[in-house]
Structure 1
Amino acid sequence: MKLSRSTLSVALLAALVAPAAHAEIALDVIGNSEVSFEGLVQADYNYFDSDFADLNAGGDALDGRDSDNELRRAELVLKGKGPGNFEWVVGYDAKADKWLDVNAKYKIRGDSNHYFQLGQFKQPNSMEELSSTKNNDFIAKALVTNTFGVARRLGGQYRYGANDWGVTASYFTRELTEHPAPTPHGPGYGLRGNWAPINEKGNIFHLGLSYVDYDTFQDTVRLRARPGADLAGTRLVDTGNMTNTDRQKTVGAEAMYVTGPVKLQGEYMQTKVERYNNGNPRQSHNFDGNSWYVSGLWNITGETWGYKEGTPTTPLPDEPASGMWQVGARFDSIDLDDGIVIAPTSPTAAAAVDGVLGGQMDTWTVGVNWYWRSNFKFMLNYVMVDSSKFMARTPTTGLVNPADQNQLVNRKVDDNPNIFEARMQFYW
């Protein structure tokens, strides 16, 4: 299913001319269901100051330039309330050509913290992933979220809790939108608990734990991460295809503290990929990887955050004409190394790896956000990357620059680029 450019233009025009467009646009009441319309459009620009690898390589970026720009999202969402305690949502991203949330929810006794949900929805294992995309603190989500987080999947979910705490259990299968094999995940289950011992306006302390366990589709897992830039065509850390795999299990911990206009948060995930014993020691070792981040955000204009179902909620500007200004910083780290190097048998041979050496990467991201009025957001980020990955090559492999071959045989290669990012966003 693809939406034409004219269809998307009509939708955007309807949102622009609608009154009070920040809230969803009320359309009609159909079958005792109050139907409304929401949308999100994001356009990104990345400039790459590459170091070793060409970050603008691959895909549509084979143009020799150091920059790339792209319509990142064009999300169109229909929502319904009713009849009774039922709610439903159908969302579609016209840019990515994929389904978003497509589900129905039944609130028990009308309680927003006690419900059943069926369909496609975000799985309960990452505070950042569960937060609204339009209010992300930085342009690219954290390395841990993009690498280990399980996003939208088909399944069923039950949540029970109150304003200060909650427990969520989910069973899921594949995504609603088909992808080329192997698909990211097979069937599995997820659990998340959240607790806010302090929860009042301008003063919130949140803790959370999560766990997901799922079958690896077609017995293959590949873990990799872009360097804090969604438009980068190259992953600086990459395990490659790990075959002979059975299940992937990820445990996560999260914390957040809000005091007035300041928000501090962090998440940690550790994943284990269990592999079958097929008699080959190098293909039978389980893989362990981990990633984490810590971030801080300051609303210069004084606004503070809310709290709902274990995630922060972002307010509207106190002064719509001047908008809400934010500055922030985030440190990310990921480790996909779980193996050792076996020395080559001759000077011209490549070294062997017992296990997996996917690489390590740290990034610093600093940024400024401007929420203008009720529907617009502008973001600027600067990302500094420090990565290293083992390269097992022979002198006859054929690198991009043959003069560098002897320096790149069987050693770790450091790659430390810098990236400038910008985003323009319109939502209603």
Structure 2
Amino acid sequence: MKPTPSTLTLALLAALAAPAAHAEITIDVIGGSEVSFEGLVQADGNWYSNDFADLNAGAAEGNGGNGDNSEFELRRAELILKGKGPGNFEWVLGYDAKADKYLDANIKYKIGGNSNHFFQVGQYKQPNSMEELSSTKNNDFISKAAITNTFAVARRLGVAYGYGDSDWGVTVSAFGRELTRNLAHGSGYGIRGYWAPINEKGNVFHIGLSYASLDTDADTIRLRARPDADLALIRLVDTGTLADVDRQATTGIEGLWIHGPFKVQGEYMRSNADRYRAGNTDFTGSGGYISGVWNITGETWGYKAGVPTTGLPDDTAKGMWQVGLRYDNIDLNDGAVIAPVPPSTAPKVNGVLGGDMDTYTLGVNYYWRSNFKVSLNYVNVSSSRFIKTTSGNTSEDPANNNRTFNRVVDDNPHILEARLQFFW
């Protein structure tokens, strides 16, 4: 459901009222809890150079698009209250006025005051995927990697326990549906462990492993991915709806290296759908990304709870410049094409052929003062998918006019993306 204009106006007014020199607004001490107010507003623009599919048409999604090869949208309008105390308790309540849904809404108890040893209950990001766990306002690229958007388990209601220190940690979680009605659902569990054998300021090496398993609830799933463009209305890879799926389990491997102003990170995920009915074979999809970012102005990154953190510019008046490059792949093919047997004229598929997609993203970020960020990305997409199409009326092949048949379609668009961001 879309938010009302008055709700969005309230979010924007709150953003504009925030002091420009602070990352958050301190409200008061209430009941022994130090309460602060944070927010994030993002506005995006996408310009498409289409190839096969019209990325802004959206007919299959029930959306008409705007009729242009571009799309503009207020991406996020997040309002967040946080509290520290009383004692070792921390709490957070977040809401996205643009998406009309709750964000983090939980209470955490730090055992012995150690932030790496805790109990947590409520809605929170599940322990999987380093990119998913990283702060949205400091994403290296405008769109998260395809595997993160497709396979990672984001915020769910649950209970978690974490144990570790600054160099390592293990978190286990049991979760259910998302707090906002009619969104993500299906109970499950997850575990993530990480280790940073090198962990110094400006010099970090991290490795991690995660596993998440969840019930599909309705015994169906559909895995699909946009071409690393959040406003695109078309998915270039798509398994379609898979029936008779009991559970989905995803294993993730991650790595991170920080050396001064340079950062390299990557993840690989493999997701399996367990199908219980004879004739429907199990499905496995996979993919990964690797990215490199250079802080041209010389700043480095922090490291906390197994994820990199982005600090403020060294000189807030001049700002911080970043340039990055990412290679991203997702493979939703788990089957084969069977040659047609007469009298059939169309090949058939054994298994699932959802498609394969590679993207290369070149990005530039500019952080100005303590509250502003401007991002520009160029995305080069190469995808291939086995689909059902209908031929047109052609004089070259009159025998196949308006005939349904299957074929492999390559779709290689280019996309330019921009984002304006204000946060406090």
Q: What TM-score, normalized by structure 1, do the two folds share? A: 0.93
Contact 2:65–2:233 at 8 Å: present in 1 too? no
Contact 2:186–2:215 at 8 Å: present in 1 too? yes
Contact 1:339–1:356 at 8 Å: present in 2 too? yes
1:236 is matched with which residue? 236
> In 1, Cα distance between the equivalents of 2:401 and 2:150?
31
SS in 2 for 1:91: strand
Judging changes above 3 Å, is the alpha-carbon distance between structure 1 residues 418 and 121 closer, same or farther for their aligned structure 2 residues? same
Contact 1:92–1:100 at 8 Å: present in 2 too? yes
**Residue number among 80, 91, 102 corresponding to 1:77 in the alignment:** 80
1:56 is aligned to 2:53: no
* Shift in Å, 1:103: 0.5
2:380 is matched with which residue? 384
> In 2, Cα distance between the equivalents of 1:240 and 1:233?
16
Equivalent AA in structure 1 for residue 214 of structure 2: Y
1:267 is aligned to 2:267: yes
1:354 is matched with which residue? 350
SS in 1 for 2:240: coil
> In 1, Cα distance between the equivalents of 2:50 and 2:403?
19
> In 2, Cα distance between the equivalents of 1:65 and 1:124?
39
Equivalent AA in structure 2 for residue 38 of structure 1: E
Flag structure 1 segments of 5+ consecutive residues without an equivalent.
Answer: none
Judging changes above 3 Å, is the alpha-carbon distance between structure 1 residues 344 and 94 closer, same or farther for their aligned structure 2 residues? same
> In 2, Cα distance between the equivalents of 1:339 and 1:367?
35
**Residue number among 400, 418, 422 corresponding to 2:418 in the alignment:** 422
Contact 1:148–1:269 at 8 Å: present in 2 too? yes
1:317 is aligned to 2:313: yes
Judging changes above 3 Å, is the alpha-carbon distance between structure 1 residues 262 and 357 closer, same or farther for their aligned structure 2 residues? same
Equivalent AA in structure 1 for residue 234 of structure 2: T
Contact 2:12–2:77 at 8 Å: present in 1 too? no
Q: Deviations over 1:357-388 (max 9, x none)?
A: 00000000001000000000000000000000
Contact 1:386–1:417 at 8 Å: present in 2 too? yes
1:245 is matched with which residue? 245
* Shift in Å, 1:20: 5.8
Q: Deviations over 1:76-131 (max 9, x none)?
A: 00111111111111100000001100111111111111100000000011100100
Q: Deviations over 1:236-274 (max 9, x none)?
A: 000000000111111100001000000000000001110
Contact 1:341–1:354 at 8 Å: present in 2 too? yes
Contact 1:47–1:66 at 8 Å: present in 2 too? yes
* Shift in Å, 1:62: 3.1
1:122 is aligned to 2:125: yes
Judging changes above 3 Å, is the alpha-carbon distance between structure 1 residues 323 and 186 closer, same or farther for their aligned structure 2 residues? same
SS in 1 for 2:150: helix
> In 2, Cα distance between the equivalents of 1:155 and 1:163?
24
* Shift in Å, 1:16: 3.7
Judging changes above 3 Å, is the alpha-carbon distance between structure 1 residues 98 and 269 closer, same or farther for their aligned structure 2 residues? same
> In 1, Cα distance between the equivalents of 2:385 and 2:364?
31
Equivalent AA in structure 2 for residue 98 of structure 1: K
SS in 2 for 1:241: strand
Flag structure 2 segments of 5+ consecutive residues without an equivalent.
Answer: none
1:195 is aligned to 2:191: no
Q: Deviations over 1:32-66 (max 9, x none)?
A: 11111100000000000000000001255433210
* Shift in Å, 1:5: 3.9
2:227 is matched with which residue? 227
2:145 is matched with which residue? 142
> In 1, Cα distance between the equivalents of 2:401 and 2:192?
48
Contact 1:229–1:421 at 8 Å: present in 2 too? yes
> In 2, Cα distance between the equivalents of 1:66 and 1:208?
40
Moved more, 20-29 or 308-317: 20-29
Judging changes above 3 Å, is the alpha-carbon distance between structure 1 residues 86 and 340 closer, same or farther for their aligned structure 2 residues? same
> In 2, Cα distance between the equivalents of 1:8 and 1:30?
27
* Shift in Å, 1:177: 1.0
1:104 is matched with which residue? 107
* Shift in Å, 1:350: 3.7
Contact 1:350–1:392 at 8 Å: present in 2 too? no
* Shift in Å, 1:27: 1.1
* Shift in Å, 1:346: 5.1
SS in 1 for 2:218: helix
SS in 1 for 2:132: helix
Q: How many residues are matched?
A: 418
> In 1, Cα distance between the equivalents of 2:421 and 2:297?
20
Moved more, 303-312 or 346-355: 346-355
Aligned counterparts, 1:403-414, within 5 A: 409-414=405-410
Equivalent AA in structure 1 for residue 165 of structure 2: A
Q: Deviations over 1:179-219 (max 9, x none)?
A: 2xxx6441110000011000111110010000001111200
1:368 is aligned to 2:364: yes
Equivalent AA in structure 2 for residue 172 of structure 1: F
Q: What TM-score, normalized by structure 2, do the two folds share? A: 0.94
Q: Indicate the RMSD between aligned Cα atoms, in angstroms.
A: 2.2
Judging changes above 3 Å, is the alpha-carbon distance between structure 1 residues 199 and 390 closer, same or farther for their aligned structure 2 residues? same
Contact 1:320–1:374 at 8 Å: present in 2 too? yes
Aligned counterparts, 1:163-178, within 5 A: 163-178=166-181
SS in 2 for 1:194: strand
Moved more, 8-17 or 124-133: 8-17
> In 2, Cα distance between the equivalents of 1:66 and 1:310?
39
1:90 is aligned to 2:93: yes
1:113 is aligned to 2:116: yes
Equivalent AA in structure 2 for residue 173 of structure 1: G
Judging changes above 3 Å, is the alpha-carbon distance between structure 1 residues 191 and 301 closer, same or farther for their aligned structure 2 residues? same
> In 1, Cα distance between the equivalents of 2:7 and 2:220?
39
